[in-house]
Structures are given as C-alpha cells and as structure tokens.
A and B are shown apart, each in its own frame.
Chain A
Amino acid sequence: MQIATRQTEGRVILDVSGDIDLANSPAMRKMLLGEIKEKRTPKVLLNLRSVRYIDSSGIASLVEGLKASRDLGSRLILYGLSPTVREVMELSRLQRIFEIYDNEEQALAR
C-alpha cells in the first residue's frame, strides 16, 4: 500500500493505492487520524481508485477516521471505490454512513 498526499487550501487528498490489509492498515489509520485529529484538516478526501483490496481492519480505520471527523466537525470524504471496496462497504452496511462519490470532480464540488 502507498499513500500520496495532495494539499490545497483547507483540504487534503490522500491517494491510496494497493492493498489495505492487516499488514498496512495501521499506517493508513495513522495518516488519516494525523490529518483529522492532529492537523485538524477541515476536509479530508480519500481517493480509493487504486485500492485493489481492503479488509475489515482497513474498514475499521475508516470508521475511526469518520468518528474523529464527526467529533471535530470536519469532513471525511471517500471517492473512486473499486467494485471490491464497494462490495466490502456494502457487506458492512457502511455505504450510507460515509460520504461517498464516484470521482474526484464530484468529491471536490461538495
């Protein structure tokens, strides 16, 4: 898994690629919570277009990020979900809890 950061005024885009599993979800969690809780970034966008696989530990990290962003009044936005990631979100019935968009253009417009 790799995470690249793009930063503009008041928002950060995290471009995640590869597999998110038990081996590397702690790294994603740390980066996500760092943006939300430590840097207090008002809007964090997670680009999941190049994520081939996500397991329950990855989903747990996303849920933790969502809770932190709600607590602080910021926003966590997901976009570009592959069929694999979308399937896992649906299995965990979290697709309605998260703010999810098809692509970056839509995510940035909100």
Chain B
Amino acid sequence: MRSFDSQVSTPKTPNKTGAESASPRSEMLLQLHLKSNPDALCLVRATLQRAAEVLQFREEETRAIVRSVDEALANVIRHAYGGQKGKPIVVSCNRVRKSEHPGDAAGLEIILEDSGEAPDPGKLKSRSLQEIRPGGLGLHFIKQSMDVVEFSRKEGQNFLRLVKYPSSSKLDKRGKGE
C-alpha cells in the first residue's frame, strides 16, 4: 500500500478533520462519527449496504464494500486502539468518478480516519492462505474486494482510503436499458 498524500488532485473534498479525498470528481455523501465499539459495526454495515445499493452496485459488489469497511473498522478497533472502547473513528463516504472516464458510473470512496497507533508496516501485508490458522484474513479480504486500498499517516492520524467502482458489465447492462 502507498500513501495517498502525494496523489491528491482537485477538486478536493475536505472533511471536518482535514482529511482529503484523493479522488478527482469527488462528492461527499455522508460522514459517520463512531466510537471504537464493536457493537457499532452492524450499524455501519447497514448504512454502507444502503449507500452501495443507492449507487447501483451489484449485490456481490455491495457485499465486498460492506465486508471491506467492516474488516477495516475491526482492525482499527483491535489494533490501532488495542481494543479500547470510546475512541474516535470517522468514516467518510464520497461518490467519485475516474478522471479519465468521467462518463462512467460513480464509484464509492470510503475514508477511515482514526487517531490510534500507527500500524506496523510488516502487518500491512496479506498473509499466505496456504497456512491454515486463525487470524490475519481481514486485510486479505479488503485487498481482494476493493479497487483501491491506500494507507497513510498524517499528523498522528491514520487514514485508510478504499475505493470500489461498479463493474463494467453492469455499465453495459445499464446502457442497454436494464
């Protein structure tokens, strides 16, 4: 994964905490301010599912988005905050379009922001699936599911940027009036 600080292009979508969307043609849809409580995860999943449906993602793409954000939040709670409850997490959801294909259907960009510990760079790699053991699957799920996965740390804050674009086959179907 790479930092997205150097990739920011205009127009930017700043959130309340100063994080900026790295994507061009970005429009803020919603922002959730959570506490690091595992009980909040089901609420975020429900919200993200509806957002993805509204943006006309396929069912499997919607599941991929929901799964990725859930796993990312679980990582923040478990690792960045060491399981402590009541710590702040901000989830920003933006509608984004690719600058090179502005006519394509909008994608969904999710930025997670927390003020926990910086992750160990060695742990930002997916583990081998050949090894059958519990744990370490969350990041693998995220990388398999999203089109963009970028981590950065800025001024003591962790930022994880996830982007999913609708599959082209769906665009084809919509173009045919389905």
Q: Which residues of A contact B (CB under 8 A)?
A: 19, 21-23, 53, 55-57, 59-61, 63-64, 67, 84, 87-88, 91-94, 97
Contacts and interface: CB of A to CB of B under 8 A. Distances in A.
Given A23-B39, A91-B141, 14 more contacts: A21-B42, A53-B66, A55-B70, A55-B71, A55-B74, A56-B136, A59-B134, A63-B132, A63-B133, A63-B134, A87-B63, A88-B67, A91-B144, A92-B137
A57 B74 contact: yes
Given A55-B67, A94-B132, A23 B42 contact: yes
State the main secondary structure of chain A at its contact with B: helix
Given A55-B71, A56-B137, A88-B141, A22 B132 contact: no
A84 B63 contact: yes
B38 interface: yes
A64 B137 CA distance: 13
Interface in B123-151: 129, 132-138, 140-141, 144-145
Contacts of B135: 56, 60
Interface in B68-91: 70-71, 74, 77-78
A9 B145 CA distance: 42
Interface of B: 38-39, 41-42, 45, 60, 63, 66-67, 70-71, 74, 77-78, 129, 132-138, 140-141, 144-145
In this complex, the member of A55, A67, A93 whose beta carbon has the largest number of chain B beta carbons within 10 angstroms is A55
A19 B46 CA distance: 11
A88 B60 CA distance: 11
Nearest to B83: A22
B66 to A, nearest CB: 8
Nearest to B49: A53
A94 to B, nearest CB: 7
B130 to A, nearest CB: 8
Contact of A87 (B60, B134, B140): B60
B63 A19 contact: no
B138 A23 contact: no
A22 B141 contact: no
A84 B74 CA distance: 18
A22 B76 CA distance: 11
Contacts of B132: 63, 67, 94, 97
A30 to B, nearest CB: 14
A61 B137 CA distance: 12
Nearest to B77: A22
